[in-house]
Structure 1
Amino acid sequence: MPTETQNESYKHAASARLQRLDHQLNTNGSLSFLVIGDWGRKGWYNQSQVAVQMGIIADRLDIDFVVSTGDNFYNEGLTGVDDPAFDESFKYVYGARSLQKPWYTVLGNHDYRGDVEAQLSPRLRERDSRWRCLRSFIVNADIAELFFVDTTPFVNIYFDDPKDHSYDWRGIHPREAYLANLMKDLRLALRESKAKWKIVVGHHGIRTTGHHCDTKELVTHLLPLLEEYEVDFYMNGHDHCLEHILCQNSKIRFLTSGAGSKAWMEANKPHDSCGVKFFHHGQGFMSMKLTKNSARFVFYNVFGKALHRWKTSLKKLHTSI
């Protein structure tokens, strides 16, 4: 059994407390944002072209912020707080005036292969004031709350069979306690939320027909919590595609936006319990607009063409499934 001193160290090392960031609504009471993932390749693989179209759509929608679903810097994250890749893959690529809004960001598995502490460091805010990256946190925007979840530590293979990759697990060990605390804090935050819309953001997919398929650890541990507290949307990257999935006996809309640069040109895979409303295996991004009573999201390709639109009222979403 651990000693009292060991227990205190255990608790400290495994802290996963969710920080809350407040974001003020537009004067008209709506909330608009873009969602992009798996992007940081110094402009290559059409990253720059996607960024141009993001700037155009962001200007049209007058967005409030951008959500990044992780894998922010390829292939091995950042080497440190002074890594020029931060400017080459982020600051200079997303230079449009309309994109000079907060970027709320989670970490992906590729980010964990570099210096994780660098991406979390406030020193990056000094290089670009838009950058807001934490392990897990909440963005409170009045009508909506976005719960950002650090999903990489859930995935067993990164610990059990990392192959030739090295992961920066500082701040994670002991892993079991870290995840237990994260789940406890997330449960409390979801239970206390009074927002009209509840959105959870993570890097790894829960339900997807993309290359990686469902993340079984998230299906086991995270999905029941999302169902219990009636989360409306789960947004992720990891699969380099755009996807909208609806599953049997669930009101959650599963949305993948991981097509910020390199895309995998492959067909989606059948799913036993979920239906694919939309799948695109090229580069692109998505937008979402929320009001007190309605939600609308749109998927765009690398040319800025709207490929898939979906809109509903809050009442309809909660009663039609």
Structure 2
Amino acid sequence: MAFRGKKTMFVSLLCLFIMALSSPSKAELQRFEHAAKKDGSLSFLVVGDWGRRGYYNQSEVALQMGIVGEKLDIDFIISTGDNFYDNGLTGTDDPAFEYSFSKIYTAPSLQKQWYSVVGNHDYRGDVAAQLSPILQKLDNRWLCLRSFIVDTEIAEFFFVDTTPFVEKYFTDPEDHVYDWKGILPRKNYLSNLLKDVDSALKDSIAKWKIVVGHHTIRSAGSHGDTHEIAKYLLPILKENNVDLYINGHDHCLEHISSPDSPIQFLTSGGGSKAWRGDVNWWNPKEMKFFYDGQGFMSMEITQTQVDIAFYDVFGRVLHKWATSKQLYSTM
């Protein structure tokens, strides 16, 4: 891990946390560097919608993640949000952090950095707790911010806070209480976030551009498309030649191709409770894969190729897909 020591990392996160509280309407994209392997390759796992104290096969998925993680010699893990059910964390001292995270993902291969976004269920609790550097002291694998960038040189990962885009959480919260501290005024927050994401993508010279958010853009699952994300964020992704959009939210595993751009939509929301049989029709020319059970995803990246694989709760490979790019000449 290419951070400058745990103490420096903690101080940086503490400063960022204080800044976020003092400037609630401004979205800041903090940048982190994470070195690829010596041969220039990168491998990682993606899991979402998981935090249930080991229940609903969360522990079984974690076991298989550990096995696959060791086989692939992973560099880190990405969480696509809804990290703690049903209502996020109550504070930094909430035992759910230990019993849904630290005591579940115990395999040696999973003792790497976790890069996490917050989902809608996390917003029902104390969001500041998940963002707090105090959790870094409890488990130094944990890194969760609203929006941020991870630069691995061959690939840049743009983590985007998608929950505030969704109108119904504000107008029809279904008796849920959401923690909007740090978001309001909402219009300013979203405007700043979209500008920051667009600017960061335009500045990127990475071979691969990958965007991570909690909510779906394209999905045949229960929630389906998130129309606000498709309206406001997707055009920016298309304009800036993003390769992959990775999300959770729908409790399934799926891969959908775009009919009008190279973007691939990858859902990894099977970290615990899944929704069997809850699937909507989708054009089979675009639907590459759908699985209504628990599991996770892996990705291997080089300068010229990306390989993805989806696994079920028994570690069986359900779907593989690869894409390639030519290596640019330096002459």
Report the TM range for the smaller structure's normalisation.
Answer: over 0.9
* In 2: Cα distance, 1:117 partner to 1:267 partner: 33
Size of the aligned set, in residue pairs, is 306
Residue 250 of structure 1 deviates from its aligned partner by 1.5
For 1:2-151, list aligned pairs within 5 A.
Answer: 12-151=23-162
Change (3 A) 1:274 1:107: farther
* In 2: Cα distance, 1:198 partner to 1:206 partner: 16
Q: Deviations over 1:4-34 (max 9, x none)?
A: xxxxxxx933110100010011111101000
Residue 269 of structure 1 deviates from its aligned partner by 1.1
* In 2: Cα distance, 1:230 partner to 1:144 partner: 13
Deviates more, 1:20-29 or 1:268-277: 268-277
Q: Is contact 2:210-2:245 (8 Å) kept? A: yes
Residue of structure 2 in register with 1:238 after alignment:
249
Residue of structure 2 in register with 1:192 after alignment:
203
Q: Deviations over 1:205-227 (max 9, x none)?
A: 00111110100001100000000
Residue 130 of structure 1 deviates from its aligned partner by 0.2
Secondary structure at the aligned position of 1:169 is classed as: coil
Q: Is contact 1:139-1:145 (8 Å) kept? A: yes
Structure 2 gap segments, 5+ residues each = 1-21
Q: Deviations over 1:215-273 (max 9, x none)?
A: 00011000000000000000000000000001211110000000000000014212369
Structure 1 gap segments, 5+ residues each = 1-10, 317-321
TM-score (norm 2): 0.91
Runs of 4+ in 1 over 3 A off after TM superposition: 271-274
Secondary structure at the aligned position of 1:13 is classed as: coil
> Is residue 221 from structure 1 mapped to residue 232 from structure 2 by the alignment?
yes
What letter corresponds to residue 281 of structure 1 in structure 2? D
Query: What RMSD over aligned residues (CA atoms) do the two structures have, in Å?
Result: 1.3
* In 1: Cα distance, 2:323 partner to 2:64 partner: 25
Q: Deviations over 1:76-129 (max 9, x none)?
A: 000000000000000000001100000000000000000000000000000000
Residue of structure 1 in register with 2:11 after alignment:
none
Q: Deviations over 1:131-170 (max 9, x none)?
A: 0000000000000000000000000000000021000000
Secondary structure at the aligned position of 2:267 is classed as: strand
